[in-house]
Amino acid sequence: MPELEQALAEVAAEMAERTDRGDVATYIPQLGKVDPRKFGIAAVTNDGRVILAGDADQAFSIQSVSKVFALTLALGKVGDALWHRVGREPSGNPFNSIVQLEHENGIPRNPFINAGAIVVSDVLLAGHQPREAIGEILRFVQFLADDDTIIIDREVAASERATGYRNFALANYMKSFGNLHHEPELALGVYFHHCAIAMSCRQLAMAGRFLANGGRNPATGHSVVSAERARRIGALMLTCGHYDGSGDFAFRVGIPGKSGVGGGILGIVPGVASIAVWSPGLNEYGNSKLGSIALEKLARMMNWSIFAPDAGRRQ
């Protein structure tokens, strides 16, 4: 088994040679401008190592990866009461589908599809102005990554708002069922802005450390969430983190992961490391094509799978 440094270098070198890189998300105009040749990967181990390869220090729009952090905050605010408004099951449908909402009385299937994340944003908005809720999410991500240079890309947020007709439809539909407590445009303002957070692979992997370490920041030992909550967030990432491609990702990679249409993926190896990968081209499910391939290769090289009994010892 190779050392992690060697494995990341090999994965990055192989991805650099690939020509079929998927398609960037042109339906959000700002994302359509990103160079599809970019590829970065970072791993932050629980013993404090930070290992980088490729464009790991270039910031990109994390998009739906931010839903992991928004969910963590929402659970901190309302606990299990959240599950009265959002389900915990895979959707089996595209991330922006409206079909299930009609059959399930405006209750989104899980917090990682767009409808579910809009409800989570509505929860975070309670008692706040949108600007305050957005600031709270950004500060939380900065705290997790130990990096106050992380910003929200205002141009991406504006681009999402200008073209987010499907998300407006989802929000208005849920409002009609009483599952949004604020006006749709306010909840959507929070949603669009936290999806527009810009981070590098290094920063994203740093922010995910607490999920790889039983809810604690391994650098300080301070608890971010309980170990039980960290496990449950990881379970949702495994079963729902890649939309209707979640089963295939679990089958091929075998670790919890959350993707975003900006081409980023946050992967968690419990007890071992947090990994972030970025390649802007997407596959048919809206997940990073090379990012998924890279994590599959890395997991196989390092025997990193929650289904491998000795995975926690492989670093």
Name the active-site residue from 123, 156, 190, 243: 243
Residue 313 banded pLDDT, cuts 50, 70, 90: very low
Counting residues of the chain whose pLDDT is more than 70, the rounded percentage is 96
SS (HEC) of the chain? CCCHHHHHHHHHHHHHHCCCCCECCCCCCCHHHCCCCCCEEEEEECCCCEEEEECCCCCEECHHHHHHHHHHHHHHHHHHHHHHCCCCCCCCCCCCCCHHHHHCCCCCCCCCCHHHHHHHHHHHHCCCCHHHHHHHHHHHHHHHHCCCCCEECHHHHHHHHHHCHHHHHHHHHHHHCCCCCCCHHHHHHHHHHHHCEEECHHHHHHHCHHHHCCCECCCCCCECCCHHHHHHHHHHHHHHCCHHHHHHHHHHCCCCEEECCCCEEEEEECCCEEEEEECCCECCCCCEHHHHHHHHHHHHHHCCCCCCCCHHHCC
Mean pLDDT of 288-312: 89
Q: Whole-number mean pLDDT of the chain?
A: 94
67 is catalytic: yes
Angle ∠(213,219,223) on CA atoms, nearest 5: 55
Name the active-site residue from 24, 191, 246, 279: 191
Higher pLDDT, 205 or 315: 205
Q: Does residue 310 have a pLDDT over 80?
A: no
Name the active-site residue from 65, 66, 67, 246: 67
Name the active-site residue from 261, 269, 272, 277: 261
Residue 27 banded pLDDT, cuts 50, 70, 90: confident
Q: What is the pLDDT of residue 102?
A: 84
Residues 89-138: tens digit of each pLDDT: 998 776 667 888 888 899 999 999 999 999 999 999 999 999 999 999 99
Name the active-site residue from 61, 64, 97, 288: 64
Q: Does residue 85 have a pLDDT over 50?
A: yes
Q: Does residue 72 have a pLDDT over 70?
A: yes
Q: Does residue 18 have a pLDDT over 50?
A: yes
Q: Does residue 10 have a pLDDT over 70?
A: yes
Mean pLDDT of 38-67: 97
Q: Does residue 88 have a pLDDT over 90?
A: yes
Question: Residue 268's closest CA among 199, 197, 218, 193?
Answer: 218
Q: Does residue 15 have a pLDDT over 60?
A: yes
Residue 49 banded pLDDT, cuts 50, 70, 90: very high
Residue 212 banded pLDDT, cuts 50, 70, 90: very high
Counting residues of the chain whose pLDDT is more than 90, the rounded percentage is 89
64 is catalytic: yes
pTM as predicted: 0.95
Q: Does residue 165 have a pLDDT over 60?
A: yes
Q: Lowest-confidence range among 90-94, 152-156, 193-197, 250-254?
A: 90-94
191 is catalytic: yes
Q: What is the pLDDT of residue 183?
A: 97
243 is catalytic: yes
Token pair, residue 27, equals: 């339906």
